Structure 1
Amino acid sequence: MSQQKNTAPDKENLHPRNRHKGRYDFPQLIKTYPELAAFVAVNQYGDESIDFANPEAVKALNKALLKHFYGIQHWDIPAGYLTPPIPGRADYLHYLADVLASVNEGVVPTGRSIRVLDVGVGANCIYPIIGHREYGWKFVGSDVDPVAVRMARQIVASNPSLAGAVEIRQQATKDDIFDGVLKPNEVYDLTMCNPPFHGSQAEADMASRRKEHNLGTTRTPQPEANFGGRGTELWYPGGEATFLWRMAEESVLIKSKCFWFTTLVSKKETLPGLYKSLKKLGAVEVRTISMTQGHKISRVVAWTFLDAEQQQAWREKRWGAKPAATEEKP
């Protein structure tokens, strides 16, 4: 029998504003959510931890984190659906806040006037929960999976703190990303996405087997991803590169309705093709932000089709920014 490994994420490289830097305070988390105690034990290094290969343990940790840091009293997901690592999810949102601040004189625009579209919100609804709690932003989350949509809506309905701040929409067409989700005259300051990165179910299963081997566990007859996940959460025909090519193609069709389009990119091999597509489509600016958590390196790619004049007009109209100063002629 192979020895089980503690795969707790290394959180030292998280964003400075991330609430989850440093070790988990398990005594405090257990005080907030007593059910977590059943999964906490002292590991071989003398530290309190959980078995990160156990989906129920990870789910219990998430419930504790969401209740303690974000005021979420009721959160659950169906068996087999993605149980997201919350520290990494929070990082994406903090870096998006930095992107907005970078074009707003260093100030993060906050409050419900800031609208964010989360493409592929999932049953867990994590990004809207964290984004609204940290910055007060208003979210629309879309998903092609009707079960995920139903569960995300249930999370929103069960937590009064999310009332009026998060709306979940069904994406009726699996090949569309923005079309069918945006309503007439809607505009968004940000879109975000954690895309499926495998190209097929077989590829996703193979990756899950590798994770099980690395975790030192084969307790289930079917391969299971470390944090769960199924179907559209894990794979898309053609993989991450094809999904993001389609996203880029659709983004130009609504280029005046969104300031910044953004996505996570898991595979560095995806970047050259995405950059080429965005250049061809006429993106005015493209940014890449690296994120590191333990051994996992990911990146955020953000792009906009708005030129300097259009950006200034957007800031003045939506964020209350002052008009740009003009130089007086001598």
Structure 2
Amino acid sequence: MKPAQTSAHNTPPQAKTNTLHPNNPHHGRYDLAALVKTLPELKGFIIQTPKGEASIAFANAKAVVCLNKALLKHFYGIDQWTLPQGFLCPPIPGRADYIHHIADLLQQRPVNRQALPIKALDIGTGANLIYPIIAHRALNWEMVGSEVSPSALKHAQKLIDAHPLLQNIQLRQQKRPEHIFNSIIQTGEYFDITLCNPPFFRSQDEANAQAARKWRNLKGAKSSSVRNFGGQQQELWCEGGELAFLRSMIDESVHYAKQVGWFTSIVSNLNHVPPLKKELKKRKVPHIQVLEMSQGQKHTHILAWSFQA
């Protein structure tokens, strides 16, 4: 099947600026005709822009979910993807970009692991299961996803059960929300890499304020604090926000230094990178990298660290 050309969820198909990872298949415009052919129901969510070009009704949460269904079916062979109402619906191009960027780090892993399948741990996999799907289908990684929410975990397992292609993905519930790796990484277990898109906000009010700003930027949309991409509390906010979450992750990573090749996480706020690097240097972490991801005007960073030579 010929790949469709895609862009980020909040970038209209006519956007030309895009610096996704070269291995990411989601460059350029969405090929809406190809996506509709793959998933005919997407046609009902296509609108005409003032310039007369076809686009997706991004202000409509159902349209965003339907777009993801089309992308996952078209590119990754997942034909029964669903999402419970209110849960986070992440943009596929950006999630794929993270996977391909951290795949580059694995070229630096010890030579004696070259012959083994890559094993990765996704922290906070959510009901959408996006990272395990992309990593397993695009790169054939062995994936383990951890999740605090029993309802999110239950739905993610339904997605696995519905697709023979996903049977090798394992899920584990984190029953101690104050921990990240503790009780998830098992004795004697080794992961080549971990990944995470941490809760960004410090409170529900902060998340709602950001959602309201996005609605104001969507032309023709009424002002609202409702998120068109959804999101539960554990997906969007936590005490102390992103910075506190990642400091906890760094603290716990010390105890699993010999069981993980690379620890990685998205860092949405660039101002958080210096204090996090300072935390890592305090612990004498020998390898620290900061990778930039860009999608049009949006820039995020990946913080990666390794205790291994």
Q: Distance in 2 between matches of 1:294 and 1:183?
A: 40
- After superposition, the Cα gap between the structure-2 partners of 1:109 and 1:32, relative to the gap in structure 1 and judged at 3 Å, is farther
In structure 2, give the amino acid aligned to 1:293: Q
- After superposition, the Cα gap between the structure-2 partners of 1:182 and 1:103, relative to the gap in structure 1 and judged at 3 Å, is closer
- Under a length normalisation based on structure 1, what TM-score does the superposition of the two structures give? 0.86
Match of 1:41 in 2: 47
Of all paired residues, the percent bearing the same amino acid is: 45
Instruction: Give a deviation string over 1:269-318, Cα, whole Å, max 9, x none.
Output: 111111011111121110000011122210011100012xxxxxxxxxxx
Secondary structure at the counterpart of residue 227 of structure 2: coil
Consecutive unaligned residues in structure 2, runs of 5 or more: 1-9
CA contact (8 A) 1:211 1:226 kept: no
Q: Distance in 1 between matches of 2:86 and 2:270?
A: 28
Q: Distance in 2 between matches of 1:99 and 1:47?
A: 39
Residue 70 (structure 1) aligned with residue 76 (structure 2): yes
- After superposition, the Cα gap between the structure-2 partners of 1:238 and 1:217, relative to the gap in structure 1 and judged at 3 Å, is farther
Instruction: Give a deviation string over 1:181-226, Cα, whole Å, max 9, x none.
Output: 1122111000000001101111111111111112246658x61224
Match of 2:293 in 1: 291
- After superposition, the Cα gap between the structure-2 partners of 1:76 and 1:186, relative to the gap in structure 1 and judged at 3 Å, is same
What is the CA-CA distance between 1:41 and the residue it aligns to?
2.6
- Matched residue count: 297
What is the CA-CA distance between 1:109 and the residue it aligns to?
5.8
Match of 2:150 in 1: 146
What is the CA-CA distance between 1:101 and the residue it aligns to?
1.9
CA contact (8 A) 2:122 2:131 kept: yes
In structure 1, give the amino acid aligned to 2:255: L
> Which of 107, 116, 123 pairs up with 1:101?
107
CA contact (8 A) 2:64 2:228 kept: no
Secondary structure at the counterpart of residue 210 of structure 1: helix
> Which of 166, 176, 184 pairs up with 2:179?
176
Q: Which runs of 4+ in 1 moved over 3 A?
A: 102-105, 108-111, 216-220
Q: Distance in 1 between matches of 2:222 and 2:84?
A: 20
Match of 1:55 in 2: 61
- Under a length normalisation based on structure 2, what TM-score does the superposition of the two structures give? 0.91
Match of 1:27 in 2: 33
CA RMSD of aligned residues (A): 1.9
In structure 1, give the amino acid aligned to 2:29: R
CA contact (8 A) 1:100 1:109 kept: no
Secondary structure at the counterpart of residue 290 of structure 2: strand
CA contact (8 A) 2:200 2:242 kept: yes
Q: Distance in 1 between matches of 2:114 and 2:132?
A: 16
Match of 1:137 in 2: 141
In structure 2, give the amino acid aligned to 1:297: H
Q: Distance in 2 between matches of 1:49 and 1:230?
A: 27
Q: Distance in 2 between matches of 1:13 and 1:24?
A: 15
Match of 2:123 in 1: 119
Match of 1:265 in 2: 267
Consecutive unaligned residues in structure 1, runs of 5 or more: 1-5, 308-330
Secondary structure at the counterpart of residue 265 of structure 2: strand
Instruction: Give a deviation string over 1:235-260, Cα, whole Å, max 9, x none.
Output: 01001000000000000000000000
Q: Distance in 2 between matches of 1:155 and 1:190?
A: 23
In structure 2, give the amino acid aligned to 1:148: A
Q: Distance in 2 between matches of 1:81 and 1:217?
A: 24
What is the CA-CA distance between 1:169 and the residue it aligns to?
1.0
Match of 2:252 in 1: 250
> Which of 297, 300, 303 pairs up with 1:301?
303
1:5-20 residue pairs with structure 2 within 5 A? 7-8=11-12, 10=15, 12-20=18-26
What is the CA-CA distance between 1:104 and the residue it aligns to?
6.9
Q: Distance in 2 between matches of 1:213 and 1:15?
A: 30
CA contact (8 A) 2:122 2:132 kept: yes
Q: Distance in 2 between matches of 1:81 and 1:215?
A: 21
Match of 2:197 in 1: 194
In structure 2, give the amino acid aligned to 1:300: I
CA contact (8 A) 2:216 2:222 kept: no
